[in-house]
Amino acid sequence: MAKTHVTTSINGEPQEFLCEPGDTLLDVLRNDLNMTGTKEGCGSGDCGACSVTLNGRLVCSCLVLGVEVEGAEVGTIEGVSSGDGLHVIQEKFLEHAALQCGICTPGIIVSTKALLEENPNPTEEEARYYLAGNLCRCTGYDKIIRAVMDSAETLRGGA
């Protein structure tokens, strides 16, 4: 089958790729663009390891087709830190030991960033529900939630 040519922007940089009609955005990122920071845990929208933003909205990239991102703005884990170092959220995850194996971490950091952009001052319960689509099997979530709450406070200018 003929491949489709797609023009998009990933983490603010223009990007073009060819993809099969059935390829997901996750397939394209990982297999065609070699951006393997976005992980696959299920391929069915249940684990959140593949979380990215699409025009600023948090989505599971395994549920988005590659062809759908024509003209869109895609944000991935690779775009969270800038040239000058880690994002506050990344630093807080390290400080709080909020990762063990780390496979869920890129997705959870992308989701946390989306949460804090939408709601800079979430309650613990709001944070827990916002992140309910991101499974972590290692940590029991305690330290993740602490890192999220501390990031929120720091980003609000508390520190």
Interface with ligand FES (CB under 6 A): 40-43, 45-50, 60, 62, 99-104, 136-139
> How many other β-carbons are positioned within 10 Å of the β-carbon of residue 138?
14
R_g (Cα) of the chain, nearest Å: 16
Note the Cα 149 to chain centre separation in Å: 18
135 binds another protein (CB under 8 A): yes
Judged by CB under 8 A, does residue 78 bind another protein? yes
Strand order in the sheet with 13-19: 13-19, 4-10, 73-75, 51-54, 57-60
**Which range of residues in 4-12, 43-51, 64-72, 151-159 is near another protein by CB under 8 A?**
43-51
Note whether 97 binds another protein by CB under 8 A. yes
Ranges of beta strands (E only) in 13-88 are 13-19, 51-54, 57-60, 73-75
Tokens found for residue 72: 């869109």
Question: Least distance in Å: CB of 149 to ligand FES?
Answer: 17
Of 3, 55, 95, 120, which one interacts with another protein (CB under 8 A)? 95
Of positions 7, 36, 119, 123, contacts another protein by CB under 8 A:
36
Planar angle of CA 126, 97, 148, nearest 5 degrees: 20
**Residue 50 near which of another protein, ligand FES, none (CB within 5-8 Å, type-dependent):** ligand FES
| Spatial distance between the Cα atoms of 115 and 89, rounded to a whole number of angstroms | 11
Is residue 104 at the binding interface for another protein, with CB under 8 A as the rule? yes
Q: Which helix (H) or strand (E) holds 124?
A: helix 124-130
Question: Strand, helix or coil at 29?
Answer: helix
Residue from 66, 75, 106, 122 touching another protein (CB under 8 A): that is: 106
- Residues of this chain that interact with another protein (CB under 8 A) are 20, 22, 30-31, 34-44, 46-47, 49, 76-78, 80-81, 86, 90, 93-97, 99-106, 109, 125, 127-129, 131-132, 134-145
